[in-house]
Structure 1
Amino acid sequence: MKRRSFLKASALTAAATGISTHSVMASAVKEKQSTEFYELRTYLLKNETQQKLVEDYFQNAAIPALNKLGCKHIGVFTELKPEGQTKIYVLIPFSSLADFLVVQEKLNLDPVYLEKGAPYLNAPATEPAYERIESSLLKAFAHMPKMEVPKKSPRIFELRRYEHPTESAGKKKLEMFNDAGEVDIFKKLGFNPVFFGEVIIGDHRPNLTYMITFDDLDAKAAHWKAFGSDPEWKKVSSIPDYSDAKLITHITSTLLQPTGTSQV
């Protein structure tokens, strides 16, 4: 009898363990599937003719086609204070890595997209639509796995890139944002972050990139002043392992404004 009871208890334990393991795995898969990926493009242009070609392409062809394929909230931005001809920054969200891999193939089979985008797609080599495209693929942070689109109102955007000395330093900075509460501090202080992303393919790796928003330049200055004096930030940043000297080698800040066709 004791042996039968033991076997029964063992079977129940194994079943429970199996259910628990299955639940954990299912939860992990769900979390992985819900994490967005972003393509961040920078168009290098030589004149206003190219700028118009690129902006018209997104307004008339790319944005409608990408929306139809499930890529919502396409951001299209120009520099707030360009040095010469502005660059165009484009932010394209994807619900998964698989979506990113198949979208271009699907665009190439869309006759409406090909027709509307022809001036850009078929621009001659003597008069190209742009000089070059710099492109990065980013994975959204675990603590902010999806883009948050700000309200439609006059505003400016700040795109910030933190470059790290090593991959391990980059992972430590990710930990600081996700686990130590840095993302929450940004939200609490009203920075209205649009996305936080780890660059997995692109230039200047290892780095992370994020976008925040302000009503204007005065609001930007006030928000960063509040951030620097925030008690929670002071507590987190005082941890020796999280010091900027260990984790960051260079910060690039670019101020942007949305174009008329931008959905962000």
Structure 2
Amino acid sequence: MKRRSFVKQTIIGGAVATALPTISKAITMNTAAAMNDFYELRVYTLKNETQQKLVEDYLQKAYIPAVKSHGIDHVGVFTELKPDGQTKIFVLTQYSTLDKIDSLQTVLDGDKTYQNLGAAYLNAPASAPAYERIESSLMKAFKNMPHLVAPAKTSRIFELRQYQSASEAAGKKKIEMFNDQGEIDIFKRLGFKPVFWGETVIGPLRPNLTYMITFDDLAAKDAHWKAFVADPQWKKISSVPEYADALLVSKITSTLLVPTAYSQV
């Protein structure tokens, strides 16, 4: 009996040991899927076309391939539709977890291919810098749109909108309006094809929220916004005194963008 009990325990123990890695992996994947995305929005200020080419070559040939190998599938790269002088470059990187952000730089530092392909950008001398300045924001996705949605690869324009608030409380109330009062659902129903909504947790001009929507062209943009303003559900939400823009939003900025040929968004 003792021998039989020992054999039984050994078999069960072996089965558990074999199954644990698979179970652990499944739990990790399910947990990651349930978590909200994080986004880095990086804005390059440039002074000329030479800098633009240097940054774009780096993004296309070095950065995007390297981060893809680290499990990051969506990097959007955009230029301004109507720049005032030299265009800025906007780079949106999607992270499934904060751990991805934490480990990425270590991965890049040890990636010799990345270092070689990005050398002109990474090692640009002070006398000929690759850019004038980089401004970065870290955002957490809204609960009612926890993951980035990349639109179809067709001719399109993007609108990047930022809502600044006078206080953290006002900013949270505006986020509540999008999440809990159905404002995000209106955008989806009317065909704005939203890419992401994010609350800025680190970055300039806080408190603010930022979101990105997309259109076929400028005429479609105008038509969609006209439909939004006239939408009965929007009129009902916006008529609630506690959700008045005068209380919740101190400034709105809108930037029209076009994706580069190699953009993954």
* TM-score using structure 2 length: 0.87
1:111-126 paired onto structure 2 within 5 Å: 111-126=112-127
Structure 2 match to 1:19 = none
1:81-230 paired onto structure 2 within 5 Å: 81-230=82-231
* TM-score using structure 1 length: 0.88
The superposition leaves residues 210-258 of structure 1 with CA deviations (integer Å, 9 ceiling, x where unpaired) of 0000000000000000000000101111111111000000000000000
State yes or no: 1:54 paired with 2:52: no
Paired residue type of 1:87: K
Q: Contact between 2:171 and 2:207, CA under 8 Å: does it hold in 1?
A: yes
Q: Which runs of 4+ in 1 moved over 3 A?
A: 29-33
Structure 1 match to 2:239 = 238
- The verdict on how the C-alpha distance between 1:141 and 1:213 changes in structure 2, with shifts beyond 3 A counting, is same
Q: Contact between 2:32 and 2:97, CA under 8 Å: does it hold in 1?
A: no
Q: CA deviation at 1:135?
A: 0.3
Q: Distance in 2 between matches of 1:101 and 1:247?
A: 33
Query: For 2:255, what is the secondary structure of its paired residue?
Result: strand
Q: Contact between 2:161 and 2:252, CA under 8 Å: does it hold in 1?
A: yes
Q: Distance in 2 between matches of 1:170 and 1:101?
A: 27
Q: CA deviation at 1:196?
A: 0.3
Query: For 1:192, what is the secondary structure of its paired residue?
Result: coil
Q: Distance in 2 between matches of 1:202 and 1:51?
A: 23
Greater CA deviation, 98-107 or 126-135?
98-107
Q: Distance in 2 between matches of 1:261 and 1:149?
A: 13
Q: CA deviation at 1:34?
A: 2.0
Where does structure 1 lack aligned partners over 5 or more consecutive residues?
1-25
Q: CA deviation at 1:98?
A: 1.5
The superposition leaves residues 82-137 of structure 1 with CA deviations (integer Å, 9 ceiling, x where unpaired) of 00000000000000112111111211110110010101001111001000000000
Q: Contact between 1:58 and 1:261, CA under 8 Å: does it hold in 2?
A: no
Report how many residues are paired.
237
Q: CA deviation at 1:260?
A: 1.3
Instruction: Give aligned-pair identity as a percent.
Output: 63
Paired residue type of 2:199: E
Query: For 1:76, what is the secondary structure of its paired residue?
Result: strand
Q: Distance in 2 between matches of 1:61 and 1:30?
A: 30
Q: Contact between 1:33 and 1:95, CA under 8 Å: does it hold in 2?
A: no
Paired residue type of 2:114: Y
Aligned-residue RMSD, C-alpha: 1.3
Paired residue type of 1:230: D
